[in-house]
């Protein structure tokens, strides 16, 4: 990431583009309303392994390229004015992959967490984690915890890394915490369950992006994304760019969100 992330200004609505950064200017050219952005974007970063295999590379090289993509997309989302970005880095089901790939992924995430911390902190990014952290390698857990502690008071984009994450597991953990607190069954509500999820203070995602053309939710934020808009692109994650990000946001703004109601 680079320094100098520009905040969203009210001048955008007046047509004054002098204070806008390049991402915001590109958004306006696509007809995107900068005052109606999705507050929270979630991304299923799919296609790393297939991208590498297609080119005759080891799958782990695809994940390394995907890490580079994540750096640029986090920057682009921040410069656009998105407040929350949550990405699916490693699912609870990914432990079933080959042992060498899992070990490589764990080390890649740990290295990225350490190497990128200074830049994220300088850019006012707040780092969060979703998932069962106690089950991941100690080195990675310490790197993530250090990132969370270092950036906890930052006020820019909130970047959440879902590691060893499963949507069903998150709901199970929320229910277990309610039982531990001896909450009577008749007092349990949807709001109360939401308050016991991994990051209860985060707004629910408005937009879910999935790369590489797969049409599945893959157990990602299944409680929180009940009414979010889904955008699927055939582009594999290593090739995903700010162009596709803006395309997703543009598509989002063209939809009518009904939340189960009838909108005339």
Which residues are catalytic, by number? 46, 94
Could you give the 3-state DSSP secondary structure of residue 50?
Answer: helix
Spatial distance between the Cα atoms of 176 and 173, rounded to a whole number of angstroms? 5
Q: Residues 81, 67: contact at Cβ < 8 Å?
A: no
DSSP H/E element including 132: none
HSE-CB at 257 with a 13 A cutoff on CA atoms is 15
Q: Residues 35, 13: contact at Cβ < 8 Å?
A: yes
Q: Residues 39, 228: contact at Cβ < 8 Å?
A: no
β-bridge partners, 162: 88, 130
Q: Which residues contact 180 (CB under 8 A, 6 or more apart)?
A: none
β-bridge partners, 129: 161
Q: What are phi and psi of 96, to 5 degrees?
A: -75, -10
CA angle 102-105-108, nearest 5°?
A: 155
DSSP H/E element including 218: none
Q: State the burial class of residue 88 (Cβ atoms within 10 Å of its Cβ: 0-12, 13-18, 19+).
A: buried
């Amino acid at each position: 990431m680079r320094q100098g992330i520009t905040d969203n200004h009210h001048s955008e609505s007046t047509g004054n583009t002098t204070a806008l950064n390049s991402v915001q200017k590109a958004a306006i050219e696509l007809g995107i309303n900068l005052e109606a952005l999705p507050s929270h974007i979630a991304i299923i970063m799919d296609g790393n392994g297939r991208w590498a295999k297609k080119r005759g590379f080891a799958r782990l090289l695809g994940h390394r390229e995907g890490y580079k993509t994540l750096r640029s997309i986090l920057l682009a989302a921040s410069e656009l004015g998105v407040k929350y970005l949550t990405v699916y880095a490693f699912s609870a089901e990914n432990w079933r992959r080959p042992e060498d790939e899992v070990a490589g992924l764990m080390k890649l995430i740990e290295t990225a967490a350490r190497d990128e911390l200074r830049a994220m902190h300088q850019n006012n990014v707040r780092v969060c984690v979703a998932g069962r952290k106690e089950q991941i390698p100690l080195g990675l857990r310490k790197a993530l915890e250090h990132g969370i502690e270092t950036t906890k008071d930052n006020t820019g984009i909130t970047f959440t890394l879902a590691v060893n994450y499963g949507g069903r597991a998150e709901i199970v953990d929320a229910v277990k915490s309610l039982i531990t607190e001896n909450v009577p069954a008749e007092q349990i509500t949807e709001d109360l369950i939401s308050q016991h999820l991994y990051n209860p203070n985060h707004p629910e995602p408005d937009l879910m992006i999935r790369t590489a053309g797969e049409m599945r939710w893959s157990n990602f934020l299944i409680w929180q994304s009940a009414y979010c808009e889904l955008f699927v692109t055939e582009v594999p994650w290593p090739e995903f760019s700010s162009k596709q990000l803006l395309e997703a946001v543009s598509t989002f703004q063209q939809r009518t969100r009904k939340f189960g109601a009838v909108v005339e």
